[in-house]
A and B are shown apart, each in its own frame.
Chain A
Amino acid sequence: MTTATQKIVPFDEAITRYDPVMGLEVHVELNTATKMFCGCATAFGAEPNTQVCPVCLGLPGALPVVNAKAVESAIRIGLALSCDIAEWCRFARKNYFYPDMPKNFQTSQYDEPIAFDGYLDVEVPLEEGGTRTVRVEIERAHMEEDTGKSLHVGGATGRIHGADHSLLDYNRAGIPLIEIVTRTIHVPAELAPAVARAFVTQLRDLIVALDVSDARMDQGSLRADVNLSLSPKDSGVLGTRSETKNVNSFRSVERAVRYEIGRHAGVLDAGGSILQETRHFHEANGSTSAGREKSDADDYRYFPEPDLAPVAPSREWVEELRGTLPEPPSERRRRLQAEWEFSDLDMRDTVGAGALDLVAATVAAGTTPAAAKKWWLGELARRANEDGTDLADLPITPEQVAAIQGLIDAGRVNDKLARQVFEGVLAGEGTPDEVVSTRGLEVVSDDGALGDAVDRAIEANPDVAQKIRDGKVQAAGALIGAVMKEMRGQADAGRVRELVLEKLS
Chain B
Amino acid sequence: MSSALSREDVAHLASLARISLSEDELDRLGAELPAILDHVAAVQGVVESAGEDVAPMSHPVPVANVMREDVVRPGLTPDEALSGAPASEEQRFLVPKILGEE
Contact = CB atoms under 8 A, between A and B. Distances in A.
Interface of A: 32-34, 38-41, 47-54, 56-57, 59, 65-71, 88, 90, 95-99, 150-154, 160-161, 163-170, 280, 289-292, 295, 299, 301, 303-306, 308-313
A164 B97 contact: yes
A97 B70 CA distance: 29
Given A47-B78, A52-B75, A161-B101, 19 more contacts: A34-B71, A38-B73, A38-B75, A47-B91, A49-B82, A49-B92, A52-B81, A53-B75, A67-B70, A68-B68, A68-B69, A88-B64, A99-B95, A151-B92, A166-B94, A168-B92, A310-B58, A311-B64, A311-B65
Interface in B61-84: 61, 63-78, 81-82, 84
Interface in B24-82: 58-59, 61, 63-78, 81-82
A4 B70 CA distance: 51
A446 B90 CA distance: 57
Given A33-B70, A49-B78, A292-B101, A168 B95 contact: yes
A74 to B, nearest CB: 12
Given A71-B67, A166-B98, A40 B78 contact: no
Interface of B is mostly: loop
Contacts of B72: 33-34, 39-41
Given A33-B70, A69-B70, A170-B93, A304 B98 contact: no
Nearest to B79: A49
Contacts of A163: 97-98
Interface residues of B, number: 37
Contact of B65 (A54, A301, A309): A309
Contacts of A67: 67-68, 70
B8 interface: no
Nearest to B18: A97
A41 B75 CA distance: 9
Contact of A169 (B17, B75, B92): B92
Among A33, A47, A310: residue with most chain B CB under 10 A: A310
B23 interface: no
Given A39-B72, A52-B75, A305-B58, A65 B92 contact: no
Nearest to A56: B75
Contacts of B63: 309
- Top 9 A-B pairs, shortest CB-CB distance: A39-B73, A53-B75, A304-B58, A69-B70, A167-B92, A68-B67, A312-B64, A168-B93, A309-B66
A144 B99 CA distance: 26
B91 A48 contact: yes
B76 A52 contact: yes
A48 B92 contact: yes
A29 B62 CA distance: 30
Contact of B91 (A41, A49, A150): A49
B76 A66 contact: no
Among A47, A53, A290: residue with most chain B CB under 10 A: A53
